Structure 1
Amino acid sequence: MLTGRRFIFVGGDLRQLEVIQQVVDNDATVTLVGFELCNRTFTDTTHADLTVETFAGADALVLPVAGMAEDGSVQTRFSREPLILNEHHFAALKPGAKVFTGIARNRLESICSEYGLCLVKLMEQDEVAILNSIPTAEGAIALAMEKTEVTIHDSNVVVLGFGRCGKTLSRTLHALGAHVRVVAKPLPELARIREMGMQDVPFERLLEAVQDADIVFNTIPALVLPAAILKEMRLDAVIIDIASAPGGTDFRYAERRGMTAILAPSLPGIVAPKTAGKIIAESICRLMNVKDAEPEVHEKG
C-alpha cells in the first residue's frame, strides 16, 4: 500500500490514466498536473497548476514514458497548455524522492543528481520491458498485417535484434507460421535463435537475410538499414521499425525508392494502453515500497 505517500503526475497519454488509478487504489495522495482535458475522473485526486508549491514535499514524481525533453517540456495529451519543468520544480520535491520516467535524457539525469533524487528509468527495468514487449510485438504484427497483401503465415520475415522485444516478436511470428530469420551478433543469442527453431543470421550477413524478405522488423536503435541495404531489398518489402526514434532505417531513401517503411515507436501506448499502463503501475507501486530500490540514488551535490 502507498498510504501517506504523495504523488505528482505531470502529463502523459492513456497509459498514465491506468497508472493513476492503481496508485489511487493503493491509497496514495495524488495531484494531477496537465489533466484538465481528461474526461476520466479519479476519487480523492487534486488538479493543480505547474507551480513550485504543487511539488513541495512530494514523495514521487511520475513523468510520461517519453520522459522530459532537454528543454524541460513534457508530452501531454490532456493539457491545454504546454508543460515545461525547470530545476525549481525538482528542488521542491522531498529529498530522496523518486522520479519515475520511461526513458531519461541528459538534463533529467543531471537535475536528479543535483538535487539528490532517485531517478527510476522504467523501460530499463526487466519487469517492465519484458512484459511491455508483448503489446509491442502485437502492435508491430498488426501494423504489418495492415500494410502487406500476404499472410504472416508462410511469409519470409526478418527480425533485426534479439533483445527483449526481438525475442517476443520472433517467437510470436514463428508461432504464426512465418519463416523467421533473426539477425543478431552475440553467439549465445544466435544459438538460442536456432534452438527456438528459427534461422539464426550473424549480423555481418544482414544483407543476405533481407534481400528476399516480405517483412522486416527492426528493433535495433542504430542505422542498420541504410540506403546501400535498402537498394538491394524487394520494392514490395514492408519495414516496421520499432526502435526508439529516429529508428534504424534510412526513411528518406526508402520513400525515394517507393518502399513502405514505418517508424512505430511507443506501440504499447497506442494498441494496448490499459495493459501497458498496468505494467508500469505495478512496477511503480513495488518500487515505492522498496527502501534500497534497484535504480541509482544520486547523492545531493
Structure 2
Amino acid sequence: MKKTKFTILGGDLRNVELAYLLKMDGNEVEVYGFDKLDLYLNQQEKLHESIFTSDVIVGPLPISEDSKMLNAPFFTGNIQINDILYLLSRKQVFTAGKISNEFQNRARDMGLNSIDYFDREEMQALNAVPTAEGAIQVAMENMDITLHSSNALILGYGRIGKTLSRMLYGLGANVYVEARDYGDLAWIENFKYKPVHLKDLEHYLSNIDVIFNTIPHVILDEYLLSRVNKDIVIINIASSPGGIDLEVAKELGLKVISAKGLPGKVAPVTAARIIKDTVYNILDELEK
C-alpha cells in the first residue's frame, strides 16, 4: 500500500498504539483528541486542521457512547460527531468502529466515504481473541475459585462465544454454552461443551459459578436472576444494554462486572495491529 497521511481522531489506547504503528510503517500521522497524554506524535490543536490535511481519518471503537460526542477519553474537551461530518470531504476516507446508522446515512447523502471497520469479518474474528482473553482475566481477578473445574456459562455462540468456549475448555472449566439455533447447539455438543437452549436456561443457573454474557440485549431478567447462586460472578462483555437486568441484579446483591472494550484495556498493541490491518485492507479494496 502506498504511504498515506493519517489522522487518528480520539479513542482509547488502541488508537494511541495505532498511531505509532502507522508511523512505523512510514506513513505521515497526526493525532487529535489526546491532550491529556504526552505523546511523541504530531498533535494538532484544531479539529479542522487535523481533518483537512489528511487522506484517511481513523476514529475510535466505538465511535461514540451517545451518538453525539466522539469517544475521546484522553481529551479535555468535546468533539461533536456532526462537526466531523461537515469537515470531511469526498476525497477522504473516514473509518471508525460501531458507526451509527444515522451517521452512515448522513455521510452517504453527503457523498462521503465512511466505512465501519468493526463491520469487517477479519476485524471481528481477530478481535475476539483479546476480548476472550480479557474476559478470562476479569474472571480470574474476581472469582474465589479457579476456572479449572468451575462451571462456566457463556451466553451466546457468536465469534466471541466460540473463542471464549475454546479457551475456557482448555483451562479445564466445565463449559456450558447457551444458544437458540439448533445448528449452533449441535456444534457446541461436537466440541464437548454442554449445550443449553435458551428455553432451558433456568434449569442450569443454580449450578453455575461464572457467567460470560456476549448478547447485547437482556437475557438475564428478574426471573432468571432469581435462580442463580448468590456467589456467582457475572461478566458482561456485550455492548449496551447488555444481557443483564442491572437493577434487579443490584437488588439481589449479585456481582455483575461490566467488561466492555476489553481489547483496548488488556491488549492495546494487539488490538491496534488488528485495526491497522483492517484499515489497510479497506484502503487496498478502495484502490482496486
TM-score by length of 2: 0.93
Aligned-partner residue type, residue 15 of structure 2:
Q
Report how far residue 120 of structure 1 moved: 2.1
Q: Could you say which structure has the higher helix fraction?
A: 2
Report how far residue 57 of structure 1 moved: 5.9
Q: Name the counterpart of 1:119.
A: 114
Say which SS state the counterpart of residue 152 (structure 1) adopts: coil
Question: Structure 1: how far apart are the matches of 2:284 and 2:35?
Answer: 30
| Unpaired stretches in structure 1, ≥5 consecutive residues | 294-301
Q: Name the counterpart of 2:52.
A: 56
Say which SS state the counterpart of residue 48 (structure 1) adopts: coil
Report how far residue 67 of structure 1 moved: 0.5
Q: Name the counterpart of 1:67.
A: 63
Of residues 132, 152, 164, the one that matches 1:157 is 152
Q: Is the CA contact 1:69–1:105 (under 8 Å) kept in the aligned structure 2?
A: no
Say which SS state the counterpart of residue 47 (structure 2) adopts: coil
TM-score by length of 1: 0.89
Provide the identity percentage.
33
Q: Once structures 1 and 2 are overlaid, which stretch shifts more, 74-83 or 169-178?
A: 74-83
Instruction: Tell me the matched-pair count.
Output: 288
**Residues 169-225 of structure 1 deviation map (CA, whole Å, 9 limit, x = unaligned):** 111111111111101111221111111111111221111222210111110111100
Aligned-partner residue type, residue 22 of structure 1:
L
> Is 1:8 paired with 2:7?
yes
RMSD: 1.9
**Residues 80-100 of structure 1 deviation map (CA, whole Å, 9 limit, x = unaligned):** 22222425x434433153221
> Is 1:267 paired with 2:262?
yes
Question: Structure 2: how far apart are the matches of 1:2 and 1:207?
Answer: 55
| Equivalent residue runs for 1:91-130 within 5 Å | 91-130=86-125
Of residues 197, 203, 215, the one that matches 1:202 is 197
Aligned-partner residue type, residue 263 of structure 2:
P
Q: Is the CA contact 1:57–1:92 (under 8 Å) kept in the aligned structure 2?
A: no
Of residues 170, 191, 214, the one that matches 2:186 is 191
Q: Is the CA contact 1:19–1:280 (under 8 Å) kept in the aligned structure 2?
A: yes
Report how far residue 71 of structure 1 moved: 5.3
Higher relative contact order (CA 8 A, sep 6+): 1
Say which SS state the counterpart of residue 158 (structure 1) adopts: strand
Question: Structure 2: how far apart are the matches of 1:14 and 1:273?
Answer: 6
Q: Name the counterpart of 2:35.
A: 36
